[in-house]
Amino acid sequence: MHPAFSVIFLTTLIGVGQGMFLALFTGQSYSAVELLPTQNSADFYATGGMIALLFLIGGLIASFFHLGRPERAWRAATQWRTSWLSREVIVLPIMMGLVFIYSLMHWFEWDTILFTAKTGARLQVTLVIGVLGMLATFALFICTAMIYACLKFLQEWHSPLTVINYILLGTASGFTLATAFANVSAPDLMSFYAIWSMIIIAAGLITRMASLFRNSRIKAKSTIQTAIGVRHTKIEQKAMGFMGGSVNTRDFFHHATARFLKAMKWIFLLLTFVVPFILLWSGMNSQSTGTLLAAFVVQYVGLIAERWFFFAQANHPQNLYYQTI
């Protein structure tokens, strides 16, 4: 498939926002049961929530560049019964609204304690909003990933690993950003986020490698014989049927060389997983905000490369008709 940068930025930016919110909610949940120090609501949770919201808004803006008629974008939500894209269009603003409410309540400290256990654990109003936001976050991960995983004719995408990788990679980027943010606003939580970031990065590397291994062993269900309905063993395509290009040759194939694809694969593996892991470890030990922020920047560049490769690797069956251009 031809990678569209509007979709690449959409999926990576909202992934950071989703992961950042999950990091904030995780930290607050640990604090609620007194496993982590309590932080100032306005300085950490409210500001962090707004950072997550900015990434979500950035992803939403990027999505409009993929539309031929942006003024009709609202119609994308009308097919929610059958379309994962429509479900994503609905869930994204719901999550954004919950993140905004979560941040606003922390900013103004509207955080009534609903229940306190004998152990000291407490249930706050913002935790209830956080639970709803967490559910919306995972629903959004699933909706976004299933847009691609539900396509049976694109065998590289049609796998549970697609959903798992979207969740892990988005969460990893958000936790990495939360680590750098915590080092400035809540130093007591920095090591907590750094360790979780490295765990999620390691898990993401394992599942992404598994998907690469799976895709390398795929046997195409369609061949040039089945494409034209001729069973002869030796068929060679001489021309694609017309002299100029078309939407078929532009939107369904990446036009990159095999060498470029191989290089892109190693680039995203290094930048998304290996280098950020090393920088997080170094930044955690040195407590360097610059190093931790560099881990996020490098990882995000790697995610752009990873998402480009994800789209480019999918081989649309229609390309059987356009092998010779």
Contact of 224 with 320, CB cutoff 8 Å? yes
pLDDT at 243: 63
Q: What is the pLDDT along the chain (325 residues), one digit of tens a residue?
A: 778 899 999 999 999 999 999 999 999 999 888 888 877 767 899 999 999 999 999 999 998 887 777 777 778 888 889 999 999 999 999 999 999 999 999 998 887 777 777 666 778 899 999 999 999 999 999 999 999 999 998 899 999 999 999 999 999 999 999 999 999 999 999 999 999 999 999 999 999 999 999 999 988 777 778 777 888 888 877 776 666 667 777 777 777 888 999 999 999 999 999 999 999 999 999 999 999 999 999 999 999 999 999 999 988 877 777 766 5
Which domains are present in the chain? 5-321 (1.20.1630.10)
Helices 160-185 and 275-286 pack at an angle, to 10 degrees, of 20
| Contact residues for 251 (Cβ-Cβ < 8 A; gap 6+) | 1, 2
> Other C-beta atoms within 10 Å of 209: how many?
12
Contact of 200 with 168, CB cutoff 8 Å? yes
H/E run at residue 5: helix 5-32
pLDDT at 325: 57
Q: Which amino acid is at 129?
A: I
pLDDT at 318: 78
Contact of 250 with 2, CB cutoff 8 Å? yes
pLDDT at 253: 78
pLDDT at 225: 81
| Contact residues for 118 (Cβ-Cβ < 8 A; gap 6+) | none
Give the whole-angstrom CA distance, residue 155 versus residue 288.
43
